[in-house]
Structure 1
Amino acid sequence: MTSNRILPMSRAISEAIAQEMRADPSVFVMGEDVGTYGGIFGATTGLLDEFGEARVRDTPISETGFIGAGVGAAMSGMRPIVELMFVDFFGVCMDAIYNLAAKNTYFSGGNFKVPMVIMTATGGGYSDAGQHSQTLHGMFAHLPGLKVVAPSNAYDAKGLMKTAIRDDSPVMFMFHKGLQGLAWMASPDAAATVVPEEDYAIPFGQAKVVREGKDVTIVTLSMMVHKALDAADALAKDGIEAEVIDLRTVVPLDRDTILKSVAKTGRLIVVDEDYKSFGLSGEIIATVAERDPACLKSAPRRLAVPDVPIPYSRPMEQFVLPSADKIAAAARESLGKAA
C-alpha cells in the first residue's frame, strides 16, 4: 500500500536500515551513540528497541577499532553499517577505510567481498568549525574501491541506503546534517518528502534532473541541490531557465546525464560544498571538456569552498559556503548578463 506520509531524512534512513535488518539477519549497526541515543543525527533512532544490543552496538570512541571491526565482519559474511559520527574524523581511521575496506577485494583476487556501509555526517552552516563541518565528497571519490552516495532528500535517502546495504562493495553513505530534519538544526522544507513504507531501491549512478531548463545547467548534490533550486527560482524571475541536476551518487558518477544537459544548454555551473581544488567540481568540468568541449557556449564555472578550513565565525562560514545568490550570479555571468 502506497503511503503519502512525509518523513524527514533521518527517519527515512533509519526506516531503510530497519527494513533491511528485518529482511537479512546479517545486517547490523555499530558506532558511537547509535544505540540508546539513536545516533547524534537521528539515523539509527528506534533500532535498539527493536533489534537489541546484539545488532545495534554502541562502540567506544575508537574509530580505527570499530571501522576495522566492520571490515572484518563484512569479510566474514556480515553486512555491517558503521556510523562514523562526522566525516571529519576519517583521519583517525583512514587506514581501515582505504587500505582495508576499499582494497581487500582487490588484494584477495576477488575471493573476499566487503559489503559494508560507512554512514557519516557532512556539511557546515551551523558554526561547528573546521573539525566538524567539512563535506569531502571528492576525498573518497578519488580512492578506488569505494562507492560514494550523497542524498538530498528523504525519498532518495531511503532508496539509496537500501542499495548501499545490499551492495557487495564498501559504500560511503554521506548525509548532510543540515538535511536530516532535526529539531535543533534548520533543514530545507523540500528535504522532507513523501516516503513510501514499502520496499524500494534507487540504483547507483543515476542522477536526477530535478528542474528542467534550457539556458544553463547546474550540477550539484546534497544540500547544494536546495541552494541551486532557490537560485533557479530567482533566475526564472529574470527569464532564465536553469536546469538542475542532483547527482545522488558520486561513485558511480552519471556522466551521461550531465553531458546530455550541457549539450542542450551550452553552459555549466558545478556547485559542491566540498573544497574547490582537486575535487568533484573539476572532475565534472573535465568530463565535459574531454567529451564534447564544442557544446560549451561559455566557460564553465564552479562554486565550492575555497581552500581554507571551515571558519567557526558564522559570518565567515557563510562567506565561504556556496549560496543561492552566488549560484544565480554565476549563472548570469555565464549568460553574459550583469548580476
Structure 2
Amino acid sequence: MIDLRSDTVTQPSKAMRQAMADAAVGDDVYGDDPSVNQLEREAATLSGKEAALFLPTGTQANLVALLTHCQRGEEYIVGQKAHNYMYEAGGAAVLGSIQPQPIDAAEDGTLPLDIVASVIKPDDVHFARTRLLCLENTHNGKVLPLDYLHQAWAFTRKKKLALHMDGARIFNAAVAMKVPLSTLTQYCDTLTICLSKGLGAPVGSLLCGSSEFIKQARRWRKMVGGGMRQAGILAQGAIYALHHNVERLREDHDNTQWLAEQLSGLGVEVIAPGAQTNMLFLRLPANEASQLGPWMKQRGILMNAGPVTRLVTHLDISREDLIRLVDLWREFKGRIATPGSGDGGARTIYG
C-alpha cells in the first residue's frame, strides 16, 4: 500500500534493523545503557542543550515536559489546535492538574504574542499561575519564522515564562530553512523531537533542555511509566535515523511540492501556503471527499480523505508512488459525473 496518512507509518530499513540488532545495551533506568547514553549526548549536542532524555513516545515526552515545567494548579498557553493540547488525551490536565489556556494560531502557525500577553493571568488568588508558553514547529507542516522565534524568546524572558517547543517535526523545519537544528532551538528552554515520524525510527522521542531540567524530567519519566531497561535496541534505531535520515527529509519536501503542483493542475484546491515541508492540505467538494478515500484504498493508496484532506510524504513514499497517485486522481475526477439536468446533484463514481 502507498500510505499517505502520516509519516508515523514508516518502516525501519534493513540497515536500521541491523543497527538495532547489534546494539550494545544495559539497564537504562540505572543509566547503564551505552546506546541510550550515546543517543542522549548526540541529541543534546544537535539541539544546543545541556542534556536530553529518551522516551518511548512524543505524547509522553510532551507530558513529562509539562509536568516538569508546571506545578499543580499552574497553566500553560498553547495553540487551540496544537498537538499537546488537542491530540494527547488531556494528559497534562488529567495527570498533572495543569490548566491549558488555548488560543488560536495565526495562519502561519505562530501564536500572536499580543494575544498571548492578553491571556497571561495576573498574580491573583482567583487565577492559575501562568508558567509556560508552548509552541509547535512545524505546525500542520508550517515552519515558524526565525524572527518570530526570536521575538517569542524575548517575550517569554520579559514575561518570566518558560518556552517549550513541541518539535515533533522540528528537523523538517531546520531542513526547510537550511539551518542547523540549534539555530531554531536556541530560542526555547526545552524541546521535544519525535524520532518515529519523518526520521523513520520505529519508536521514540527525545526531550532536550538544561541538565537540571532533564534531571527532574527523568524522575517524571519514571513516574509515568517511561523508564525502560535494555532500551539501547530502540536507541540504535534512533541514532541511525539521526545519522542517515535528516538531510533526506528534503526529498519529502520536494515530493510534496511536486505533488501540490500536479494536483493543482488537476483543479484540486491546495490550501495556502501549500507545501512548506512534507504535508499538503487540500480542500475537496463534499461529493468527492466522501468517495475519494474508499476509491483510492481499493487501488492501493491509503489517505484520510475528507473536506480537508492531509497528505503526508515520508521515506517510504517515492516519486513513482506519487505519479501513480496523480494518475489515479485524474481517473477519479474523470469518473465523477457532473451534475445533470434535473438530477439534483452529482452522481456517484462509476465502478
Higher helix proportion: 2
- Asked which structure has the greater RCO (Cα within 8 Å, sep 6+), the reply is 2
TM-score of the two chains, using structure 2 as the length reference:
0.36
TM-score, normalised with respect to structure 1: 0.37
